[in-house]
Structure 1
Amino acid sequence: MGVASFARYDGLADWYEEYNAPAAAANQAAIRELLGPGEGPCLDLGCGGGQYFETIRSTGRSIIGLDYSADQLRIAQGRDADLLVRADAAALPFEDAIFPTVTALWVSSDVDDFTTVVKEAARVDALKKSSRHFKITSVLTASPTQATRSSEWQG
């Protein structure tokens, strides 16, 4: 589908930061458990204002936050990321197999083409290239306060 048509959260980032804070806080332990311990950079697709950066870092990973919304990245700048990138998750500006971990937390309804986002996540995931197994840590539950592993993909 190509580049996103617009940044959905530009102009809404401050509101969303406050609105989503209780759900983000409630999901910290579940996200930590889903990720497990790790190392190296984690690409956090659709990172928004960075509400999960602290949780990702607590697992031993460094953080590369990516979002299409400049307004969301403005908020994320106040959090502990190693690098913030403004880009479309459906057209990632990274080489193949470069990240040991890729997350996409609650973004499935915020992108134009989630299938392409998953394919791009798999493309840049280093462990998928070696093990042919890619775990999608995108949370797709009906309730934003219940984190569950959505699926596993065999490639």
Structure 2
Amino acid sequence: MSSARKNLNSLARWALDVQLKPLRALDPLIRPERGWIRAIREALGMTTGQFAKRLGVSQPRVAALERAEANEVVTLKSLRHAAEALDCELVYALVPKKPLEDVVRDRARLLADLQLARTNHTMRLENQGVSKQRMERAREALAEELLRNDRRLWADV
């Protein structure tokens, strides 16, 4: 992988981390058991018939839409239309549990650990084991090499 490509990947991770940082700080929202659409519709005091008219669909279609959301099979397009009909904003994001740079670095260290464990096991069998300090330096060096070629990071191990 070229240095420019690696820098672009790193820059993309940084930009996404900056954009997602405010969302990561929020407490995760728990979707109401029967879904956001129904919860908001009912909180507004809107009947399924009234909502159907605002959506431009039949009343049974509203019931199907609400079931689809509750069962997690609704489409983003349907959610967007429902949000507009309820005068809401659809907020959609995948929010990593930790910064993307940390995810990539942790993965590189995991792969380095796996690779070094196999090597160290063989060396110990031959009575050539290395010190813990040397293993840690080798781990960091191998992790940095993996980071330079980050397409290898997500290959099956």
Q: TM-score normalised to the size of structure 2? A: 0.21
Task: Give 1 or 2 for the bigger CA radius of gyration.
Answer: 2
Higher helix proportion (structure 1 or 2): 2
Answer 1 or 2: higher relative contact order, Cα 8 Å, separation at least 6: 2
- Higher strand residue share: 1
TM-score (norm 1): 0.21
